[in-house]
Amino acid sequence: METTPDYVMVSMKLLGALGLLIYGMRMMSDALQKMAGPQLRHILARMTTNRLTGMLTGTFVTCAVQSSSATTVMTVSFVSAGLLTLSQAISVIMGANIGTTLTAWIMSLGYNVDLTNIVFPAFVVGIILIYNKRQRYVGDFLFGIAFMFLSLVMLSTAGKEMDLEHNEAVVRFFASFDTDSYLTILAFLGIGTLITCIVQSSAAVMAITILLCSTGVLPIYLGIALVMGENIGTTATANLAAFGANTQARRAALAHLLFNVFGVAWVLIIFYPFVNMVCRLVGYDPSLGGQVTRLPVVLAMFHTCFNVTNTALLIGLIPWLERIVCWLLPEKKEVKTKEDEFRLQYIQTNLVQTPEIAVLQAEKETAAFAMRVGEMFGMVRTLFQETDPKDFSELFRQIEHEEDTTDKIEIEIARYLEQVSDGHLSDVTKQKIRQMMREISELESIGDACYKLARTLERKQESGKSFTQHQSEQLQALMLLCDRALVQMQTVMHGHRADHDIRETFRIENDINQMRQHLKTENVTAVNNHEYDYAISTIYIDLINECEKLGDYVVNVVQARFGK
* pLDDT exceeds 60 at position 4: no
Query: Are 310 and 97 spatial neighbours (Cβ–Cβ below 8 Å)?
Result: yes
Half-sphere exposure of 87 (CA within 13 A, CB side): 12
Per-residue model confidence as pLDDT tens digits over 297-310: 888 888 889 889 98
Write down the pLDDT at residue 438: 93
pTM above threshold 0.85:
no
Measured in whole angstroms, the distance separating CA 27 from the mean position of its chain's CA atoms is 18
Q: What is the rounded average pLDDT of the residues 531-550? A: 91
DSSP 8-state code for residue 335: P
Per-residue model confidence as pLDDT tens digits over 476-518: 999 999 999 999 998 888 766 656 678 888 999 999 999 999 9
* pLDDT exceeds 90 at position 178: no
In the chain, what are the domains? 13-328 (no CATH), 340-561 (1.20.58.220)
Kindly report which listed range (168-182, 403-417, 505-519, 535-549) carries the lowest average pLDDT score.
168-182
| 381: confidence class by pLDDT, cuts 50, 70, 90 | very high
CA distance 434 to 438: 6
* pLDDT exceeds 80 at position 103: no
Closest CA to 104 of 278, 356, 236: 278
Measured in whole angstroms, the distance separating CA 512 from the mean position of its chain's CA atoms is 40
| 443: confidence class by pLDDT, cuts 50, 70, 90 | very high
Coil vs helix vs strand at 86: helix
On the 0-12 / 13-18 / 19+ scale of CB atoms within 10 A, 340 is: exposed
Write down the pLDDT at residue 477: 93
| 3: confidence class by pLDDT, cuts 50, 70, 90 | very low
CA distance 71 to 99: 10
Closest CA to 253 of 232, 238, 240: 238
| 563: confidence class by pLDDT, cuts 50, 70, 90 | confident
| Between 174 and 369, the higher pLDDT residue | 369
How many residues are recorded in the chain?
564
Task: Name residues whose C-beta falls within 8 Å of residue 397's C-beta, 6 or more positions apart in sequence.
Answer: none
| 456: confidence class by pLDDT, cuts 50, 70, 90 | very high
Task: Name residues whose C-beta falls within 8 Å of residue 78's C-beta, 6 or more positions apart in sequence.
Answer: 44, 45, 84, 89, 357, 360
CA distance 418 to 451: 28
Residue type, 136: R
* pLDDT exceeds 70 at position 223: yes
Write down the pLDDT at residue 518: 92
DSSP character string of 21-51: HHHHHHHHHHHHHHHHTHHHHHHHHHS-SSH
Per-residue model confidence as pLDDT tens digits over 395-428: 999 999 999 999 999 998 998 888 887 766 767 7
| 100: confidence class by pLDDT, cuts 50, 70, 90 | confident
Roughly what angle, to the nearest 10 degrees, separates helices 136-162 and 101-110? 60
Half-sphere exposure of 222 (CA within 13 A, CB side): 24
Closest CA to 241 of 222, 229, 256, 226: 256
CA distance 477 to 88: 45
